[in-house]
Each structure stands twice: as C-alpha cells, then as structure tokens.
Structure 1
C-alpha cells in the first residue's frame, strides 16, 4: 500500500507540476492583492480537487455510458500530457496566458486544465482502477490529497518562491518537470497499448 501511495503521489505531483504553474499564477494574479492571490490559490486547488475526485469516483461509470474504455482515456491523457510536457521543456508555458481576466482565473486557466487536466484525471482513474481493495483506494486518495496540498502550498507561497528561484531557477525546474511529465505520458500510452495487445 505504501508503494502505491508513493507511486500515485509522485505521478500526480509531477502532473500537477505546481512549480511550473508559478509563472502562470503570478502573471494572471499580478493585479490582485496578496490576500486575493492566496484566495485564488485556494480556489484553484479546490476546483482541481473537485474535478479529479468526481472523475475518480464516477468516471468509470461515465466512460462506460459513453462507450469509452479506460485505455482510450489513458492514450488521450498521455497525448495531451505529452503536449504539456513539450511546453514545459521549452519553458514557455506562461506565454500568451496573460490575457485572461484576473477575477476568474482560479477556475480557468488555473484550476483546469493545468491542474485538473486529462493527465491527472486519467492517472487518478487508473490508480483507483488498479487499487482493487479499500485500503489501496484510501492510499490513492491520500496520495491525491497530499499532492493537492503541496500544490496549494506552492501556489500560496508562489511570490516568495518566485523571488527565491528567479527566472533561471524556475525555467530549470520547469524543464525537469517537463521531462518527467513526458515519461509519464509515454507510460500511460504504453500501458494502454500493452493492455490492448
């Protein structure tokens, strides 16, 4: 169970990639007060938590109703995660996103899709599917909660972290996370292909 927790936690944390969200967060909330930025960080993580949790609980039934297999979602999530990974590797994920209105950015584009995107949804559903027992499902839920908590803390303290790491540090961490995200994308697609074979 501890191995499942660790695997799920690391995977979800890499997919959420809160450090890469810092430039986007700071750009989109630049006109907000410090208290407004903290509220935006809290709401965006709650939105992501709600979306991922709904799909983790009811996603299988929804996919069955639409005639979509979990493996198809894996491939779709992996492909979209690969596109996000390419943006991260180029370290230009914050480019051209400053046009959003700062008032509603907690829902879009912060809460979704960067946090609660197809990759996070597909990975969470996959871990819940693989769990097979109540303790294992609890381990996945705790991993999700821990990853979301760390994401919230990162966004909450993003002004300080941004000043600490500066642009070069953020770009380096973003590229490393991009490489890990690309590897997870390959793993998602490969797992689905192996299942079909």
Structure 2
C-alpha cells in the first residue's frame, strides 16, 4: 500500500505541477492585489478539483461507453504523460499546460482567469485528467481507490497553498530553482509513464513477456 501511495502522490504532483502553475499564475495576475489573487486562486483550485474528481469517478464508465479498452487507454495515457515529462525536463511550459500563445493572450485580456486558463488547462490539464483515470484503474479495491481520491485532495490543497504563496516561493527559488524542480519531476514522470505503457502492453496480451 505504501508503494502504491508513493506512486500515486508522485504522479499527481508532477502532472498538476503546483510550482510551475504558480509561476504562470504570477504571470497572469500582474498588478492584482492580494485579496483578488487569493479569490482567483481558491476558485480555480475548487473548479479544477471538481473536474479531476469527475474524471476519477466517471473515467471508467466513459471508457466503457466509448468502447475503449483499459489496455488501450493505459498505452495512450502513458504516451501522453511521456510527452508531458519531456516538456517538464526541457522546461517548456506551453507544451505541458497545453495552452497556446493565442490562448495566453486571450487569458491576459480576460478579467476572470479562474476557469480559463488557470483551472483548465493549467491545473486540471490533459496530463492530470489522464493520470487520475489511470490511477483509479490501477487501484485494486475500495481502499486503494479511496487513497487515490484522498491524495488527489491533498495535492489540490497543496496547489492552493502554492498559488497563495507564489510570490514568496518564486522569490525564494527563483526561475532556475523552479526549472530544476520541474526537470527532476519530469524524469520521475517519464518513468511512471513508461510503467503505464508496459502495464497496457501486458494487459493487451500482445506482448505476454512484458514485465
């Protein structure tokens, strides 16, 4: 159980990436007061949490409705997380968050950024959505499923705290420090992504020798 919990926690932290999101949050809220930033941060995290919980609890039913096998989703999801890990390793924020330059300009011109782009896709991005579905599928029994949901809430609370403390954290770590954390996280995520791919290949029955 402890190994599974550690795997879940690392996967959620590196896909949500609170530090990277905090850096982008500062860039999207120039000139705003502390109260306004706090309101936006808390609302964005609440919305992102609701979205991820929906994917965690309803992801399996969605795959069944679309007639997508667990093995196929594990392989596809693993590859998606692998791409996200490459962006983390090379500190390419745009690829990780799946937000384009045009979307960034639109967000800057919008007064309320809590829903877009902060909640979606910066916090609850494609990588995080994929991760929660994969983690729930890997969970065996109610206890492990509850563990995934509990750790998801822990990570989202940590994300909220990171956004609220963003100016101090960035001042403490600097851009270089944030990028170092991102690169280390990217390496861990790459390994976890490959494990998802291997699990999918084994579940498909095509490569029975896959460990």
Q: TM-score band (shorter)? A: 0.7 to 0.9
Q: Match for residue 7 of structure 2?
A: 7
TM-score, normalised via structure 2 length: 0.82
TM-aligned CA deviation for residue 98 of structure 1: 4.4
Q: Does 1:190 align with 2:198?
A: yes
Corresponding pairs, count? 197
Q: Does 1:135 align with 2:165?
A: no
Q: Match for residue 32 of structure 2?
A: 32
* Residues 47, 73 of structure 1: alpha-carbon distance in 2 compared, 3 angstrom cutoff: farther
Q: Show the 5 A alignment for 1:45-124.
A: 45-93=45-93, 96=101, 98-99=104-105, 100-101=107-108, 102-124=110-132
- Kept in 2, the 8 Å contact 1:77–1:122? The answer is yes
- Kept in 2, the 8 Å contact 1:16–1:120? The answer is yes
Distance 2:194 2:57 in 1: 25
* Residues 77, 32 of structure 1: alpha-carbon distance in 2 compared, 3 angstrom cutoff: farther
- Kept in 2, the 8 Å contact 1:8–1:143? The answer is yes
Gaps of 5+ in 2: 95-99, 207-211
Q: Match for residue 159 of structure 1?
A: 167
| Cα RMSD (Å) | 2.2
- Kept in 2, the 8 Å contact 1:20–1:173? The answer is no
TM-aligned CA deviation for residue 25 of structure 1: 1.2
Name the larger-Rg structure. Answer: 2
Q: Match for residue 20 of structure 2?
A: 20
TM-aligned CA deviation for residue 157 of structure 1: 0.7
